[in-house]
A and B are shown apart, each in its own frame.
Chain A
Amino acid sequence: MPDLDDELMKQCQQGDIEAFDLIVRRNQVPLVNFIARFLGNPDAAEDLAQETFVRMFKVIKRYKSGAAKFSTWMYHIASNLCKNELRNRGRRGRFFVDNVITEPSLGPESTKEDLIATAPADVSLQPGNQLERKEREHAVQSAISELPERYRLPLILRDLQELSYEEISETLILPLGTTKSRINRARLMLKDKLRSFVESS
């Protein structure tokens, strides 16, 4: 099955700017999610995702169709930008859980009454569930952010971006065996970090 992004990239290399616009629309959400989960900061993620698209646009002539999947190429550029970002900050990515939940009416200091007042009809979005969900997300994101960079990247690519082991191996330029063992190690580390949360809940 031909990769649509790959086809669009070919058109873009022939001067079709609108094809690149389509590529952006198809990939912007996964890319922002990937960067946000890696950095633990959704605000910085949008900026870096834009930077990734700009970088891709500038080096579009260097893209070799068929050499690797488009997603591999995109995540490779994004990974390098993320690593540079962390290096420039000189500190590990911090997570701002209040920015991740996108309900605008709920601030960081929202009380249970506020949540009840804005509660939707859907049972899954009841205040109790929302608080629980927020707490759970905070715990998981904190656990991800605490992982070393070399384990965090493959874990996110595998379990959140759902790339295959081969694609991750190409993206991070690692042997396939190393990629697999690193992902298993990352999951074991995540399990240890979430132990208290899982056992308490």
Chain B
Amino acid sequence: MNCLKAEEQFSAYLEDELDYQAVKAFEAHLSPCESCRREFALFRESLDLLHQLPQIELSTEFDIALQVRLADAQVEPIPFWQRVLRPLHGQTRLALSGIAVLLVMVAGTYLYQRALVKPKSVEITVAPETSRRVPFAEGRRVQWRRQQFPLAVPSREPQSLVNFPESSAFDLQPVRRSQQPQRLEQNYILQTINYTEAPTGGGL
């Protein structure tokens, strides 16, 4: 046993918590080790000092102050809605409660209806390729969606035209830009939402 190990067993030795072998080992170390003997004596003395600390007495106000605090703790906190409704008279309170219930019912029905009315089927119509603008259909909800389709590839004007000899068997004419087929950069899809099949859900 070294000094550090002996120090770890100071409390256990004092409180008689070591077994026989451990006690023998502890005493065998302490008896020749003057430093440990001195430290152990100091350990005991400081513990004696700690145990001699006087008891702190209570002040005379302790009991009264505690009774007041305990009485406060016994009072249950009043819920918010009770604090609001308590000052009102019977009929007013009843009327306000009725209005509140009615409002909740109306709001609930409205939200229920709104959740039910959803488009069931969507009819998709492809717009004419050449036209960029399609007049809105009256009475219908029209939605435009930009699409990047492969057919919408912009064409470039040729840098130079090939000049064939006049005697060529091919009677080719340079293609003018105005004669090129008109191509669109993008197409539009007209979505017409058909409300005829949407469920009404009943009610309002």
Interface on A for B, CB 8 Å cutoff?
A: 20, 24, 28-29, 32-33, 36-37, 42, 45-46, 49-51, 53-54, 57-58, 100-102, 133, 136-137, 139-141, 143-144, 155, 159-160, 180-181, 183-184, 187-188, 190-191, 194-195, 198
> In the complex, what residues of A have CB within 8 A of residue B46's CB?
143, 187, 190-191, 194, 198
Q: With A53-B70, A54-B73, A187-B46 given, is the CB distance from A45 to B56 under 8 Å?
A: yes
A46–B59 touching, CB < 8 Å: yes
- How long is the Cα–Cα vector from A49 to B63 in the complex, in angstroms? 11
- How long is the Cα–Cα vector from A136 to B52 in the complex, in angstroms? 9
CB distance from A67 to the nearest CB of B (A): 23
Majority secondary structure, A binding face: helix
Q: Give B1-42 as 1s and 0s: 1 = Cβ < 8 Å from A's Cβ atoms.
A: 000000110111000000000000000000000000001001
- How long is the Cα–Cα vector from A29 to B66 in the complex, in angstroms? 13
Closest 4 CB pairs of A and B: A184-B11, A194-B46, A191-B46, A50-B66
- Asked if B45 is at the interface (CB within 8 A of a chain A CB), the reply is yes
B56–A100 touching, CB < 8 Å: yes
- How long is the Cα–Cα vector from A46 to B45 in the complex, in angstroms? 30
CB distance from B203 to the nearest CB of A (A): 48
> In the complex, what residues of A have CB within 8 A of residue B43's CB?
187-188, 191
List 24 interface pairs A-B (beta carbons < 8 Å), by A numbering.
Answer: A28-B66, A29-B57, A29-B58, A32-B56, A32-B58, A37-B53, A42-B56, A45-B56, A46-B62, A46-B65, A51-B69, A53-B66, A137-B53, A141-B53, A155-B50, A183-B11, A184-B10, A184-B11, A187-B11, A187-B47, A188-B10, A188-B43, A194-B45, A194-B46
